[in-house]
Structure 1
Amino acid sequence: MSDTSQQAVIAGASLLIAAAAHRYLYLRLVGDIIVSPRLRRAGRATATALTVLVPSGVLAAEYADPTRIGWLARPVFAWVACAAYLLMALTVLEIPRRLAVRSLARRAEAGPGTSPGVDQGKATGTGPATGRPTAETPGRDSVADGPWAVDRRLVLARSVALLATTTAVATTGYGFHRGLGPPDVKTVRIGLRRLHPSLTGMRITMASDLHLGPFFGRGHTSRIVRMINDTSPDLVAIVGDLSDGEAEDLGPHAEPLARLSSPHGTYFVTGNHDYRHDADAWIETLAGFRVTTLRNTRTLIRHRGGAIDLAGVTDVEGEREHDGPDHHRALADRDRSRPVVLLAHQPVQVHQAARHGVDLQLSGHTHGGGFFPGNLLVPLSQPVTAGLATIDGTQLYVSRGAGASVPPIRVGAPPDITVVELHAL
């Protein structure tokens, strides 16, 4: 399938998903609770507009110049995040809502307003399956039910809508505040066999997933650089997904990386997002900022009378560009008396690292799950969501990342910069 065909399929699928989602949101947040025909028409028009706008904003964020689409991306992805939480909240409330509707229907049938021989579904203007006011007669009083039962159903529908909306808006607001705010700075002590005692206390400050683009620009990079420099690193590692755009557009926003300061320099490995926007151009741009890319290569780091091998492999996404990870090339023929630290964007690459005797792999990619239910989905494809673990004898540390992809929200997975402090075992 050609790239154009793939894009068409993605666009079509996005439109169908958006239509289904907005139809459901309309029914629960407008159709079930609003009586005014004028407001209901306005709700339908809004749902239709959002159905078109959301896929347009998503495609623009993927293919357009990120520096010029902030005006579109910001409201679109704010709504995407809010809509996602609205759908989750309404889905959770769906079962108790239906049970309550049936309870009200049974009480209405047994209540004082019941007229023998009257079909309850027809008299109340409710559907037989749901027992709620239909779209044609929302909240209309009936002979059989009386105003008490109908009012209770409206109160229930409006309470559900209010609870879901309040939860979604509050969670989305918090998520954007956390996602766009400064990352936490963490220090993790990791012991390595074969590490020369003189290297105990060596500090590798790592940042992953900066995701320069519509939401993160030069100010974000400058803040990250200041925070990294404040940790007094011996070496800096940027572990993939630097950007969500072309180097030609976003290069100036990455320029503060040239101010990173450490005795042994700054090293970078590619992430999956970097291959969406000409990784070669980004690698060339970073070289101008004194950032060295480890492209299936390694370098010897001598520090205080000891030494470690620092290696880096490209991301698995690079296979599509004939630039896939080559652990053998990066790790073969090394001195096995020295420990090796491997930079690899995706945690899943640790399995190959373990086969080559890597002591420690530093990764990002997962964002720590980002926001619920992402934390439940990450384990389906990655061995570790965040933090330190040992896989097949190789230690793996996974950062939650210093930025975020779209939508840039963080709930239960705060962004971080990590200081990896090495210790001899």
Structure 2
Amino acid sequence: MFNKVRKILKSSVVFLLVFPAYIAAHIAVYFSILHFFPFSMPFEKNIVKLALFLLGSFLGFSIMISTLLAHRWDNHFNRKYYFLSGVWVGFMINLLLFFAFGWIIVLAYGIFGGDPNEKMLGLSAVVGAFLYSVYGIINAFTPVVKRIDVSIKNLPKKWIGKKVVHISDVHLGHIYRDEYLREVVKRINSLRPDAVVITGDLFDGTDGNIDIFIDPLNSLEATKGIFYASGNHEIYLGIDRTFETLGKTKITCLRNEIKMIDGLQFIGIEYPKHKDKINVAKTIKKIPNFKQSEPSILLWHMPTQVSKIRKLGISLMLSGHTHKGQLFPFGMTTRFMFNGYDYGLKRKGNFSIYTSCGLGAWGTPMRTEKHSEIVEITLLKGQASGKNKRKTEN
């Protein structure tokens, strides 16, 4: 009961911080539409204002209404409503972005002189936002395979040239269903991985039947094992429920544990519950069978505490969480928040870190910053520093 209350309070704080900005964005779109598409007749203008206000209010609050419905009743209608309300959020953000470009052009004409065709600017903004949103939806549901090489100084002979497939932030739930997961599993299996690692947010955190994902997950094939560490959305779903479901699969869940496979340590750090803080390096040190001198792959959901983890002697750290901002221009924010470790492969000395932008999406089923991705890592023996020379995407 206490945990539920704490979860509600946390959600309320986030709501109070985000909601004013969300409303302000809708207001900005509202006044932009009225400016770029003027109506000369007062009666006509008032009708349009009222219609826009009512439509905007319905669409704006739909994400909250659909979320409440989807958490209470898992059915086809609520899932579709949840999806469409998420689409609106993404489209509204893109519309605001394109209208901003329109306002910049109007301002430039005001400074340098001239008379812009504002109706054409407005129409271009709407069409541009629509096409950009379609592009974002396609990106969110058509993952690419990103291929990278990672060198590990003391990599055992049995792992040289072997492939580890890394996925993160799938967000299975009301939007990403079992059909999507089956296609992803087929794609992963076609890569013939030696190991598969999942770095959290496998589930979205919405209520509903998550047992539908058991069969597709059991279809994953990897000769040396499938390893999982939890993320923050598993906390929202319920960590006990998460591990109960995954216990019905062949996935090895690493809860502050190590699995030694042919001389390579797979270390999984469990995402802390609620507001609990965790020192990842200290947590790893406390694991009885951790060997600092042995090569290791760390699964930790967030690309944080990187300096301490590197000093611990970890060979390769795999993370997710950031979505690379998911929608433009939020990628600039994640880069600042995560000190440049928000996406991609970074190397320093004998340490490498790869942060995936994820395989699913959250909030809005769109991706305009980066394509959803499956990461294929080929392990090599040698110094970690250096540039990746392989083709990265297909």
Is the structural similarity TM-score above 0.5?
yes
Is 1:169 aligned to 2:173, yes or no?
no
Residue in structure 2 matched with residue 271 of structure 1 by the alignment: 231
Residue in structure 1 matched with residue 33 of structure 2 by the alignment: 29
Is 1:206 aligned to 2:166, yes or no?
yes
**CA distance 1:65–1:290, change in 2 (3 Å):** farther
Candidates 342, 352, 363, aligned match of 1:406: 363
8 Å Cα contact 1:11/1:55 also seen in 2? no
Aligned-pair distance for 1:353? 1.9
8 Å Cα contact 1:340/1:360 also seen in 2? yes
**CA distance 1:209–1:355, change in 2 (3 Å):** same
Is 1:309 aligned to 2:270, yes or no?
no
- What letter corresponds to residue 328 of structure 1 in structure 2? K
Question: Alpha-carbon deviations, 1:297-338, whole Å to 9, x = none?
Answer: 101102xxxx211111122x43636888522234x6534453
Distance 1:24 1:319 in 2: 34
**CA distance 1:358–1:184, change in 2 (3 Å):** same
- What letter corresponds to residue 33 of structure 1 in structure 2? F
Candidates 318, 322, 332, aligned match of 1:362: 318
Residue in structure 2 matched with residue 112 of structure 1 by the alignment: none
Residue in structure 2 matched with residue 190 of structure 1 by the alignment: 150
Q: Give the total of aligned pairs.
A: 369
8 Å Cα contact 1:350/1:391 also seen in 2? no
Gaps of 5+ in 2: 383-394
Structure with more relative contact order (C-alpha pairs < 8 Å, separation 6 or more):
2
Residue in structure 1 matched with residue 372 of structure 2 by the alignment: 415
Gaps of 5+ in 1: 108-151
Question: Alpha-carbon deviations, 1:196-235, whole Å to 9, x = none?
Answer: 3342112111111110122101011111111111111111
Is 1:320 aligned to 2:324, yes or no?
no
8 Å Cα contact 2:161/2:380 also seen in 1? yes
Is 1:74 aligned to 2:75, yes or no?
no
Is 1:280 aligned to 2:240, yes or no?
yes
Is 1:341 aligned to 2:315, yes or no?
no
- What letter corresponds to residue 98 of structure 1 in structure 2? L
Distance 2:343 2:332 in 1: 12
Candidates 367, 381, 385, aligned match of 1:424: 381
Give the alignment of 1:227-242 within 5 angstroms. Answer: 227-242=187-202
**CA distance 1:269–1:66, change in 2 (3 Å):** farther
Is 1:180 aligned to 2:141, yes or no?
yes
Distance 1:349 1:66 in 2: 38
8 Å Cα contact 1:66/1:213 also seen in 2? no
**CA distance 1:392–1:248, change in 2 (3 Å):** farther
8 Å Cα contact 1:186/1:418 also seen in 2? yes
Distance 1:67 1:328 in 2: 45
**CA distance 1:158–1:66, change in 2 (3 Å):** farther
8 Å Cα contact 1:200/1:422 also seen in 2? yes
Please, which moves more after superposition, 352-361 or 318-327? 318-327
**CA distance 1:101–1:53, change in 2 (3 Å):** farther
Aligned-pair distance for 1:192? 0.7
8 Å Cα contact 2:73/2:208 also seen in 1? no
Distance 2:347 2:216 in 1: 34
Residue in structure 2 matched with residue 256 of structure 1 by the alignment: 216
Provide TM-score, normalisation by structure 1: 0.79
Candidates 105, 130, 136, aligned match of 1:96: 105
| SS of corresponding position for 1:210 | coil
Residue in structure 1 matched with residue 389 of structure 2 by the alignment: none
Question: Alpha-carbon deviations, 1:365-405, whole Å to 9, x = none?
Answer: 22233221121011222241222112575210122221111
Aligned-pair distance for 1:264? 1.8
| SS of corresponding position for 2:304 | helix
Residue in structure 2 matched with residue 353 of structure 1 by the alignment: 309
Aligned-pair distance for 1:52? 3.0
- What letter corresponds to residue 34 of structure 1 in structure 2? P
8 Å Cα contact 1:210/1:242 also seen in 2? yes
**CA distance 1:81–1:419, change in 2 (3 Å):** same
Aligned-pair distance for 1:93? 2.7
- What letter corresponds to residue 240 of structure 1 in structure 2? G
Please, which moves more after superposition, 321-330 or 392-401? 321-330
Residue in structure 2 matched with residue 83 of structure 1 by the alignment: 92
Aligned-pair distance for 1:352? 3.3
Distance 1:259 1:43 in 2: 48
| SS of corresponding position for 2:255 | coil
Aligned-pair distance for 1:275? 1.0
Distance 1:408 1:415 in 2: 11
| SS of corresponding position for 1:318 | coil
Sequence identity of aligned pairs in percent? 24
Residue in structure 2 matched with residue 390 of structure 1 by the alignment: 347
Aligned-pair distance for 1:49? 2.5
